[in-house]
């Protein structure tokens, strides 16, 4: 694998996701070797002040410094940015897009032959607990895949997936933290209804979700079996489960993920 200490990283876009990934990467990359730009220069400058990363005034400048260039911009401006920077890219640069719904083929055409990768991280990168899906064009070397995987692992777990699953990943992990936050908020609201102070309710709800998620990942039993283990015959928990079923809890979650997947698919058609 390439010497991580000697590579340079760039990111166009200093939003929540790009900033979270870059901040995590400072664990293995010296901050001054990470270059960042943003449509709002003040955002990039603030990030630079907080992390020691190098701020650039233009996207082309970031591209000129970067061995690995992350695109942390909205899907609607990806091609505009690629057109802006392609003449400034290094010959060996690898472009890594975070944009939902934009397929590798279109990215590589717009980048005029540069190696291209797609990733879909999620907001948990902020606490280094992300799950990031990765796929790449056929010309990306195994060495470059290993480097990018190592970089992304600074922010959590990384998995290589078929590009055909990327829209699904957008629904099941990219967008779903918002759904989980809503669930935690609803649990806390119920606790407040029965007398628990708001901040304490958030702690109880969030820790419960965190613990349940850890059990799914570590226990070995499927979620259904774990649910059954909590439900004693004629007990309190099964009453709550019955209420969730009656009110369409499962179908609402499935539908929410489905509409996200469909939205991502539609983006690829534009």
Summarize pLDDT for 170-202 with one digit per residue, the tens. Answer: 999 999 999 999 999 999 999 999 999 999 999
Report the alpha-carbon distance of residue 84 to residue 67 in Å, rounded. Answer: 17
57 alpha carbon, distance to own chain's centre: 25
| 171 carries a ligand binding annotation | no
Q: Is the dihedral of CA 175, 165, 108, 138 positive or negative?
A: positive
Residue 12 annotated as binding site: yes
Q: What residues does 68 pair with on adjacent strands?
A: 9, 94
Q: Does the annotation place 13 within a ligand binding site?
A: yes
Q: What is the largest CA-CA distance in the chain?
A: 69
Task: Say whether pLDDT at 152 is over 80.
Answer: yes
pLDDT of residue 46: 92
| Residue 52, CA distances (Å) to 4, 36, 44 in order | 18, 11, 11
At 212-249, the pLDDT tens digits run: 999 999 999 999 999 999 999 999 999 999 999 999 99
Using the predicted structure, report yes or no on whether residue 113 has a pLDDT greater than 90: no
Assess contact for 136 and 143: CB atoms under 8 A.
no
Rounded-to-integer distance, Cα 23 and Cα 173, Å:
20
pLDDT at 64: 95
What's this model's pTM, rounded to 2 decimal places? 0.91
Which of 263, 270, 78, 261 lies closest to 164 in space, CA to CA?
A: 261
Known binder of ligand: residue 38? yes
Residue 15 labelled as part of a binding site? yes
Q: For position 14, what pLDDT does the model report?
A: 86
Q: Does the annotation list 111 as a binding residue?
A: no
5, pLDDT greater than 90: no
């Amino acid at each position: 694998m390439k010497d991580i200490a000697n590579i340079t990283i760039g990111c166009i876009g200093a939003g929540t996701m790009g900033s979270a990934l870059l901040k995590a990467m400072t664990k293995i990359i010296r901050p001054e070797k990470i270059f960042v730009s943003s449509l709002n220069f003040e955002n990039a400058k603030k990030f630079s002040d907080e992390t020691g990363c190098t701020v650039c005034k233009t996207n082309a400048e970031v591209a000129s410094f970067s061995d690995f260039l992350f695109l942390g911009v909205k899907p609607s401006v990806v091609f505009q940015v690629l057109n802006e920077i392609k003449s400034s890219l290094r010959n060996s640069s690898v472009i890594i897009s975070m944009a939902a719904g934009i397929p590798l083929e279109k990215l590589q055409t717009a980048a005029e032959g540069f190696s291209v990768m797609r990733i879909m991280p999620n907001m948990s990168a902020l606490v280094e607990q992300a799950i990031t899906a990765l796929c790449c064009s056929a010309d990306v070397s195994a060495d470059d895949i290993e480097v990018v995987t190592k970089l992304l692992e600074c922010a959590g777990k990384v998995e290589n997936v078929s590009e055909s699953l990327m829209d699904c990943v957008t629904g099941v992990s990219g967008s779903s933290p918002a759904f989980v936050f809503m669930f935690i908020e609803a649990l806390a609201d119920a606790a407040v209804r029965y007398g628990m102070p708001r901040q304490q309710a958030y702690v109880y709800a969030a820790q419960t979700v965190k613990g349940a998620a850890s059990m799914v990942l570590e226990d070995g039993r499927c979620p259904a079996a774990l649910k059954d283990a909590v439900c004693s015959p004629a007990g309190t928990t099964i009453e709550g489960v019955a209420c969730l079923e009656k009110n369409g809890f499962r179908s609402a979650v499935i539908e929410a993920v489905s509409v996200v997947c469909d939205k991502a698919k539609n983006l690829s058609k534009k």
